[in-house]
């Protein structure tokens, strides 16, 4: 599933092409996404101008005059900037049409993505109103993690992946940040001190920023707005590397399951 760096990569890729442009039409070929595409979406968007392409957590926010479209890429979704003349494929479900033959095309083979229209403040929408602070913003710090972790007995990896604690940190980057911080992913969140949370917050910010610069991580499906794969994959130190030597101590990296997600770590370096 695309995580924050992948969604931010898509945002940066599409924003220069569509910001300030008027949507001339919308073609919906398949309404059956994770949430059914509203039948009135074409009417709601047609003729409106894109004011901003933003992001909150793992959602893209296409703000137009009079409302906002919340877009989630799901497990396999992508948004690509194309010319309208290109024939759609089997999984190309939605086209946003602009003048000059410009098209923003949503492709989603697994159909776990969604598009939700709101005429109100999108940050107060039920999908976003409980989201935690942005990890790359000023509202996120080790003190935030320390305060929210008190009394929690669950694993720290599940804790930092909780979108109400911090927005947008998924499985890949939680594993990578915990390795950099030297924290075992199964350690109870409430048994980690302030100094270690300061280090973890720093490493979360660092790994996310590095991944954005590299265009995200492609393990299976992710491509950016130009159809290119992410280039952070070779820089992963633990994720999906079970059995390979730890880059620090050379012990074999391990895999376990935590919160129904594969978790990768070094039993020697992470405590």
Annotation marks residue 58 as catalytic:
yes
Same domain, 111 and 225: no
Domain around 62: 4-129
Among residues 2, 5, 122, 185, which one is catalytic?
A: 2
Q: Which tens digits make up the pLDDT trace of 151-183?
A: 999 999 999 999 999 999 999 999 999 999 999
Among residues 35, 48, 84, 261, which one is catalytic?
A: 261
Output the pTM of the full model: 0.92
Total number of domains in the chain:
2
Positive or negative, the CA dihedral 237, 241, 247, 249 is positive
d(CA 30, CA 161): 31
Contact assessment for residue 161 and residue 169, using Cβ atoms and an 8 Å cutoff? yes
Annotation marks residue 261 as catalytic:
yes
- Say what the pLDDT of residue 230 is: 54
**Is residue 27 a part of any domain in this protein?**
yes
Q: Which tens digits make up the pLDDT trace of 48-72?
A: 999 999 999 999 999 999 999 999 9
DSSP 21: P
Same domain, 63 and 148: no
Contact assessment for residue 213 and residue 9, using Cβ atoms and an 8 Å cutoff? no
Among residues 3, 6, 8, 176, which one is catalytic?
A: 3
Annotation marks residue 2 as catalytic:
yes
CA 8 to chain centre: 7
Query: Would you place residue 227 in the very low, low, confident or very high pLDDT band (cuts 50, 70, 90)?
Result: low
Joined together, the tokens standing for residue 165 give: 């604690």
Annotation marks residue 196 as catalytic:
no
Among residues 11, 58, 105, 254, which one is catalytic?
A: 58
- Say what the pLDDT of residue 226 is: 53
**Is residue 114 a part of any domain in this protein?**
yes
* 111 pLDDT above the threshold of 80: yes
d(CA 32, CA 91): 11
Q: What is the CATH number of the domain that holds 36?
A: 3.20.190.10
What percent of the chain shows pLDDT beyond 70?
Answer: 94
């Amino acid at each position: 599933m695309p995580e924050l760096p992948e969604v931010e990569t898509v945002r940066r890729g599409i924003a220069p092409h569509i910001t300030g442009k008027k949507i001339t039409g919308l073609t919906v070929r398949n309404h059956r996404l994770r949430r059914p595409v509203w039948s009135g979406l074409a009417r709601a968007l047609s003729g409106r101008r894109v004011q901003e392409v933003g992001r909150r957590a793992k959602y893209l926010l296409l703000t137009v005059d009079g409302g906002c479209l919340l877009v989630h890429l799901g497990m396999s979704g992508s948004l690509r900037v194309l010319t309208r003349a290109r024939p759609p494929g089997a999984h190309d479900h939605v086209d946003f049409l602009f003048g000059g033959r410009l098209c923003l095309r949503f492709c989603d083979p697994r159909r776990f993505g969604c598009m939700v229209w709101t005429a109100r403040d999108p940050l107060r929408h039920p999908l976003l109103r409980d989201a935690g602070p942005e990890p790359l913003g000023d509202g996120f710090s080790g003190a935030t993690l320390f305060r929210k972790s008190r009394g929690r007995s669950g694993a720290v990896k599940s804790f930092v992946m909780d979108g109400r604690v911090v927005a947008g940190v998924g499985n890949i980057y939680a594993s990578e940040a915990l390795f950099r911080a030297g924290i075992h992913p199964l350690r109870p969140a409430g048994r980690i001190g302030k100094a270690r949370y300061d280090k973890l917050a720093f490493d979360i910010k660092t790994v996310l920023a590095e991944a954005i610069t590299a265009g995200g991580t492609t393990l299976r499906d992710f491509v950016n707005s130009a159809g290119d794969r992410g280039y952070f994959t070779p820089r992963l130190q633990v994720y999906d590397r079970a059995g390979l030597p730890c880059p620090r101590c050379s012990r074999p990296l391990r895999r376990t399951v935590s919160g129904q997600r594969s978790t990768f770590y070094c039993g020697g370096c992470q405590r």
